[in-house]
Each structure stands twice: as structure tokens, then as C-alpha cells.
Amino acid sequence: MRKIIVAAAFATIMPVAAFAHHGWSSYDANNVLTLKGAILESRYENPHGELMLEDSGKRWLVTLAPVSRMQARGLPREALAVGKTVTVVGYPSRVKEGEMRAERITAEGKTVELR
């Protein structure tokens, strides 16, 4: 009976988890963007970090890597504090205007590969 309950719970949770995490195919890898601006908002959390920054008068939601990857590659939370200026290189979303996935970020003079 316990196995049936566990299996039912798993079957219920998995579609929600899959829906919540977007795939990278929703970003246009043929269109490379380079944005530079001050960080307006910063979320250094899983499943991946995010920044809101402004470049040339437009606000962008920038999807970063998971926290563990950023830490392992030398990009601490403090480097992504609100008010700091960063440069991000990545791909725009095909689905959401003003969203991009970052491939690399330069913060505090250090460039970090995120993928």
C-alpha cells in the first residue's frame, strides 16, 4: 500500500515540476545579446539565479545558472548585489519579451561562464 501512495504522489508532483522548469529551447541561440547595466533586483537562489537590469532604457530579466554552479565558478552573491554594474552575454527568450538566458557574466571585473 505504501508503494502505491508513494507512486501516486510522485506521479502528481512530476508534471508540476516539469511544467515549472522551462527548457532552454525557448531561448534564441542564434541571436546573441550583450547587455550592460546596473542590477535593479537580484535573486541568488535555486533552481537558478535571476537578475533584473536595465540596459539602454529597457529592463531585462536575466536567467543565470544554479547557485551551486555560480559558487563553484567564483561568482558569489555579493558580486550580484543591487546597484552593481554587470555585463551579461546570452540569448533572448522566444516566449517572453525582455527576458534572456545568460551564458556568461562579468561582475567586479571577473568573467564567469555560466553554462
CA pair distance 79, 110, nearest whole angstrom: 10
pTM (global) more than 0.85: no
Q: What CATH homologous superfamily does 23-113 map to?
A: Nucleic acid-binding proteins (2.40.50.140)
The half-sphere exposure of 34 on its side-chain side, counting CA atoms within 13 A, is 2
Q: For residue 110, what is its C-alpha cell? A: 571577473
Does residue 6 carry a pLDDT above 70?
no
**Burial class, 58, CB count within 10 angstroms (exposed 0-12 / middle 13-18 / buried 19+):** exposed
Does residue 3 carry a pLDDT above 70?
no
pLDDT at residue number 89: 98
Beta strands in the chain (DSSP E): 33-43, 50-55, 58-63, 85-92, 99-107, 110-113
Find the mean pLDDT for residues 41-61.
96
Ramachandran region, residue 18 (left: φ > 0; alpha: ψ -120 to 50; beta: rest): alpha
* Distant-in-sequence, close-in-space partners of 92: CB < 8 Å, separation ≥ 6: 27, 28, 31, 33, 99, 100
Helix (H) or strand (E) holding 65: none
Find the mean pLDDT for residues 55-62.
96
The 10s digit of each residue's pLDDT in 14-37 is: 444 444 445 668 999 999 999 999
